[in-house]
Amino acid sequence: MRTSRHVERRSFLKAAGASLATVGLTAAGCGGTSGSAGGGPVTIRYAWWGADDRAKRINESIALFEKKYPKIKVKTDFQPYLDFWKKFNTQAAGGNPPDVIQNAVTFLRKYAARNVLLDLRPQVEAGNLSTDNFRSGLEKFAEIDGKLLGLPVGSNSMGYIIDEKLYDKAGVTPEPGWTWDEWYAGMRKIKSRTGVAGDSGPHSIMYYYDLRLRQQGKAFFTEDGLGFTESDLTAEWTEAMKHIRSGLFTSPKRADQVKPKSATAAGLSAGEFTWDNFTVRYAAEGKSSYGIAPIPTTDGKKTGQYLGSLMLSGTARTKHPKEVATFIDFMVHDPEVGRIMGYDRGVLSTTEQFEAFEPTDRVSKQIAAYETRIAETGVLEPITPHPAGADVVESAFLRLATEMSLDKASPGEAVEKFFTEAKTAFTANA
């Protein structure tokens, strides 16, 4: 059994590597020298977003780090996602950001352009940080103009989370390669046979629309702007409003009433698009059983998927780049940290941690099986670059799609406002 499991995992690493070998982004950052040349104890600050369970896991991992490196103390801070970035923006503007942050691709170019992020490449060359044993391609995820601005702690991909009981009751079975027409037909059958909306409404999810675009040979972002037109988005949002009014998508007002619980976990829809590692929230919030279904396709083959990742980045103003590198190295390579963190931030990114974590719960097994399957089938593609200002654009997309769904704006009006705000965001971050 053990041997078979390792063969399966190695197969996943090989398949993922073939799809991700060309992953890469572009921009700038800077570094410094360690402030601990005299060998005295130092304290570094580490900030991330997440909830209490993530904090518990991270603090347990830090305790291991401090035991191994007693001269390095780690002061921690965590916030919910939006609060984290508000606080970090203020700290970065004031010249006092944390030494290490949890980071995401949406923010790389923005903070690289402002020279906020530490180039970790010198620390790799000095032997303080290893880029070995990453699932092939992931070590390049935060590589920008030859500078290394972070290392991934895990990977995830977009999935379609379904309420398995509702799908079974309606007699709908999602299969790899199913088309959007089959997806819509399945939702209509679910609505007819169960009275529940087929989907929570994907119109406000930027990464869902990115998949749709990538299946058509486009993408949400190019290196310096948007990769689609106003007419593209008007057609998409007009179609979404039709499905909201027909009841095929969940009523936005009802979905808003159950927040922060998701519409699917609340029993208001049979499925919704989200990152595969978020599957854990459905088991915690809902009363049904939930699975990860394949992404529908345009041609029965191309899903537009890629591996995304949370990462750890250092900040350029740190006085302790060596200690920052030592900490990041430990957090991404140490096997015991992998066992502690599990798939909280995605499927573990290094072979040491990937091999060390033995999934025992149903949800973690589902996530691992899903990412193994999409890697082996060869659907994964390189991620497209996220230009500086992408975070502002994503926020505008969510807000304006929500306003439209609540009949506060027509699709055309919402699209016009979105393109205006996107242009302003890109100009401000150029």
In order, the DSSP letters of 133-158 are TBSTTGGGTTEETTEE--EESEEB-E
- The answer on pLDDT for 308 being more than 90 is no
How would you class 399 by CB atoms within 10 Å of its CB: exposed for 0-12, middle for 13-18, buried for 19 or more? middle
Domain membership of residue 222 as a residue range: 203-248+389-430
HSE, side-chain direction, 13 A CA sphere, residue 424? 8
What is the C-alpha to C-alpha distance for residues 171 and 372, in angstroms, rounded to an integer? 26
Neighbours of 332 (CB within 10 A): 27
**pLDDT at position 32 over 50:** no
Extended beta strands in 167-308, E state: 271-275, 290-293
In terms of C-beta density within 10 A (0-12 exposed, 13-18 middle, 19 or more buried), how is residue 20 classed? Answer: buried
* Residue 302 forms part of a structural domain: no
Mean pLDDT score, 327-333: 98
Within this chain, do residues 29 and 138 fall inside the same structural domain, yes or no? Answer: yes
Last residue in a domain, options 233, 267, 294: 294
Instruction: Write phi, then psi, for 366 (nearest 5 degrees).
Output: -60, -45
User: How buried is residue 202: exposed, middle or buried, by Cβ count under 10 Å (0-12/13-18/19+)?
Assistant: buried
pLDDT of 148-169, one tens digit each?
A: 999 999 988 999 999 999 999 9
pLDDT value, residue 273: 97
Residues 108 and 68 in one domain: yes
111 and 53 share one domain: yes
Same domain (yes/no): 64, 108 = yes
CATH number of 110's domain? 3.40.190.10
Whether 218 and 242 map to the same domain: the answer is: yes
In-domain check, residue 383: no
Residues 19 and 151 in one domain: yes
Does 331 map to a domain? yes
142: in domain: yes
- 253 within domain boundaries: no
237/233 Cα distance (integer angstroms): 6
Distance, CA of 266 to CA of 390 (rounded, Å) = 30
> What is the reported pLDDT for 18?
42
Mean pLDDT, rounded, for 171-198? 97
Q: How far apart are CA 367 and CA 375, in angstroms?
A: 12
**Position 181 confidence tier, pLDDT thresholds 50, 70, 90:** very high
Residues 23 and 76 in one domain: yes
For residues 362 and 268, state if they share a domain. Answer: no
Last residue of a domain, one of 376, 398, 417: 376
Query: Is 67 a member of any domain?
Result: yes
* pLDDT confidence of residue 70: 96
Residue 301 lies in a domain: no
Are 51 and 86 contained in the same domain?
yes
Phi, psi of 266 (to 5 degrees): -85, 0
121: region left, alpha or beta (phi > 0 left; psi from -120 to 50 alpha) = alpha
Confidence check: pLDDT of 22 > 60: no
Q: How far apart are CA 100 and CA 232, in angstroms?
A: 39
Within a domain: 429? yes
Q: Are residues 150 and 163 in the same domain?
A: no
Q: What is the pLDDT of residue 136?
A: 61
234 plus 344 within the same structural domain: no
Rounded Cα–Cα distance for residues 356 and 350 (Å): 10
3-state SS record for 246-263: HCCECCHHHHHHCCCCCC
Q: Are residues 286 and 243 in the same domain?
A: no
**pLDDT band at residue 372 under the 50/70/90 scheme:** confident
Q: Based on the structure, what is the number of domains in the chain?
A: 3
